[in-house]
C-alpha cells in the first residue's frame, strides 16, 4: 500500500477505536506509519481524511450489514418470520460492529459542518432504504420507487431508534421477538385499511 491508502486504513482504525472527534492527526499518522506531512500532501486536512475514511468505513459497514441481511429466513417464511429473522441479524450486528454504529451517531452531529459528508450519507441513506424495503417486504418488480422508499424509511427509522437504545443500554433494548410483538400490536390497533 502507498501512503494514501495507509492513511485511510489508519484513519478507519482510529475512527473505530477513538471516534471522530477524539481522533487527531498524530493518531492517524501513527496508526498509518506515516508522517504528519503525508496527511496534508494527500488530503489537505485531517478532517478531509477523516471524512473520506468515514465514508469508506460506512460503505464497508453497509456491505457487512447487507451480507447479514441476505441470509434469508427461508423460502416458506412469511412476513412475520422474515421481520423477526432480519432483526435478529441486525441486533447481532450491534454487538459485532458496535464502533461503526456509534460513529454513525457522531457523524450525524458533524453533518452540518461537512456538506460532502452530508451528501455521501444522503446517497447511502437512499440505497439503504431501498435495500431495507427489499429485505423486509420482498417487493415485486412492479413496486414503484416511492413506495419502496417509504417502506424503507419506516424500517430505517426503526433501525436508528433500536440502535440508539442498544448503544445506551443493550440489556434494555428490545429483542427481535419484542419488536415483532410490538409491530403486530400496532398493526392490530391500526386495523384494516
Looking at residue 112, what is its pLDDT? Answer: 80
Looking at residue 193, what is its pLDDT? Answer: 67
Confidence label for 29 from pLDDT (cuts 50, 70 and 90): very high
Residue at 114 is within a domain: yes
Residue at 150 is within a domain: yes
Residue at 88 is within a domain: yes
Q: Is 39 helix (H, G, I), strand (E, B) or coil?
A: helix
Q: Is 43 exposed, middle or buried (0-12, 13-18, 19+ CB in 10 A)?
A: buried
Range of the domain at 132: 51-190
Looking at residue 10, what is its pLDDT? Answer: 94
Residue at 21 is within a domain: no
Give residue-wise pLDDT tens across range 128-150. Answer: 888 888 878 878 888 999 999 99
Residue at 37 is within a domain: no
What angle do helix axes 79-96 and 98-110 make, rounded to 10 degrees? 90
Q: Assign residue 61 the CATH number of its domain.
A: 1.10.357.10
Residue at 167 is within a domain: yes
Residue at 171 is within a domain: yes
Question: What total number of domains does the chain contain?
Answer: 1
Residue at 130 is within a domain: yes
Q: How far apart are CA 59 and CA 57, in angstroms?
A: 5
**Alpha helices by DSSP H, 19-144:** 25-32, 36-43, 46-69, 79-96, 98-110, 115-137
Amino acid at each position: 500500500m502507498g501512503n494514501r491508502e495507509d492513511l485511510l486504513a489508519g484513519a478507519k482504525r482510529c475512527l473505530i477505536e477513538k471516534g471522530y472527534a477524539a481522533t487527531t492527526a498524530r493518531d492517524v499518522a501513527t496508526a498509518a506509519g506515516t508522517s504528519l506531512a503525508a496527511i496534508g500532501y494527500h488530503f489537505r486536512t485531517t478532517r478531509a481524511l477523516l471524512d473520506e475514511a468515514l465514508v469508506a468505513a460506512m460503505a464497508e459497514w453497509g456491505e457487512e450489514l447487507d451480507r447479514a441481511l441476505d441470509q434469508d429466513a427461508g423460502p416458506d417464511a412469511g412476513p412475520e418470520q422474515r421481520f423477526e429473522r432480519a432483526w435478529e441479524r441486525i441486533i447481532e450486528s450491534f454487538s459485532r460492529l458496535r464502533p461503526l454504529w456509534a460513529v454513525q451517531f457522531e457523524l450525524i452531529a458533524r453533518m452540518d459542518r461537512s456538506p460532502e459528508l452530508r451528501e455521501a450519507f444522503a446517497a447511502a441513506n437512499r440505497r439503504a432504504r431501498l435495500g431495507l424495503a427489499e429485505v423486509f417486504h420482498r417487493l415485486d418488480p412492479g413496486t414503484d420507487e416511492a413506495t419502496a422508499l417509504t417502506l424503507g424509511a419506516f424500517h430505517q427509522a426503526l433501525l436508528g431508534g433500536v440502535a440508539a437504545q442498544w448503544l445506551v443500554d443493550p440489556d434494555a433494548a428490545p429483542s427481535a421477538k419484542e419488536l415483532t410483538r410490538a409491530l403486530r400490536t400496532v398493526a392490530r390497533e391500526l386495523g384494516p385499511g
